[in-house]
Amino acid sequence: MPILHKPNWIRSKWPCNPEITKLKKLLREKGLATVCEEAACPNLGECFACGTATFMIMGDTCTRNCRFCNVKHGKPGALDQNEPQMLAEAATHLKLKYVVITSVTRDDLSDGGASHFAACIHTLRKAAPNVKVEILTPDFRYCMDSALEILSINPPDVFNHNIETVPNLYPKVRPSADYKTSLLLLEKHKKLHPNIPTKSGIMLGLGETKEEVSQVLKDLRKKGVSMLTLGQYLQPTRDHLAVERYITPEEFQNYKALALGLGFTNVSSAPLVRSSYHAENQ
C-alpha cells in the first residue's frame, strides 16, 4: 500500500522552545518519562511549551506490542519505588492543577501495576491536595477485579481507558487486547464509582467504517462512558501500521455531533486530538 501524503490540516508545532528544554531537564532530573515523548505525540511542542505533560509511570518498556504504538516493548525492569515521590515533586514544581498519569502495560506484575498507580495518586495528592488527577490505564486483562479494588483506595478524578479502535480491527491493531475486556473495565469502574467520570478514546484512519465507529460510541455510552476523544492515527515509523485514510476536519465535527447526540458530555474530536490533549479543559 502506498504511503499517503499528509493533508494540510495535519500540522504540529516543532518542539523548539526554552520552556520545552526546561521541562525536559526537570523530567530527566526526576527520572520520569512522558507518553508525549515515548509515543511521539504530534502535540508535544504545544503542550511542553505550556508546561504540561502526561506522566508515564512504570518505565518506558511495554509488555505488549501493539502495531500502532511507538512505545518500545520487551521485558521491563523493576518498578522504581521513588517514582511516586518524583512525580509529585515534578507536578508541584510545575504548579500543575491537573495531572494525567498513564503507564506502559505491565502484564508481568500480579496487579498490572495498580498499586503503583494508587501510590502515585496518594503521594501526589499529599503534596498538592487540590490537584485533579486523571489516570489513563491499561486493560488489566489478567487481574481486573483486584486492580480495580486497589485503585478504589485512592480513586482518580477521571478514569480513562482507551478503546482505541473498532472491534473488527483489534486483531490487526491491538492483537494482545480484547474489545469486550476494555468495555468491561470501563463498565466495572463506573459501577464501583458512579460519580467519577469515565473516559475513552478512538483513533481514526485505520480502515474503520462510519457505521463501526457509530456502534463503538453506542457501546461506550451503554457502559456509562461520558467523556470521549477522537483523533487521527499517525504512523510513527515505517515499521508501524500505515494510515489507511486521513479523516477530514468536517468528518471529525460530524462524529462530535453524533457523540453529543448519544449523550457524551465532553467530546474532543479533531485530527490532532489525543487522549490527554488539553485534558484539563475537557
Local confidence pLDDT in tens for the 282 residues of the chain:
566 788 888 865 555 566 666 666 777 788 776 655 544 555 555 555 554 567 889 998 999 988 888 788 899 999 999 999 999 998 888 788 888 899 999 999 999 999 999 999 999 999 999 989 999 999 999 999 999 999 999 999 999 999 999 999 999 999 999 999 999 999 999 999 999 999 999 999 999 999 999 999 999 999 999 999 999 999 888 888 999 999 999 999 999 999 999 999 999 999 989 887 655 565
pLDDT at 65: 86
Q: Residues 6 or more apart from 244 whose CB is under 8 A from it?
A: 1, 205, 206, 207
**Sign of the four-CA dihedral 95, 100, 105, 106:** positive
pLDDT at 171: 95
Rounded Cα distance between 137 and 89, Å, is 22
Rounded Cα distance between 139 and 175, Å, is 13
Q: Residues 6 or more apart from 226 whose CB is under 8 A from it?
A: 197, 198, 199, 263, 264, 265, 266
Task: Kindly report the length of the chain.
Answer: 282
pLDDT at 26: 72
Of 64, 35, 60, give the one whose Cα is nearest residue 175.
Answer: 64
pLDDT at 70: 77
CB 112 within 8 A of CB 147: yes
pLDDT at 205: 97
What sections of the chain are H helices per DSSP? 18-29, 35-38, 44-49, 83-93, 114-127, 144-151, 170-173, 179-192, 210-222, 249-262
The amino acid occupying position 92 is T
Q: Domains along the chain?
A: 18-281 (3.20.20.70)
pLDDT at 52: 57
pTM given for the model: 0.90
Q: Which residues pair with 266 in a beta bridge?
A: 227
pLDDT at 13: 56
Per 3-state DSSP, the chain is made up of helix, strand and coil in percentages (nearest 5) of: 40, 15, 50
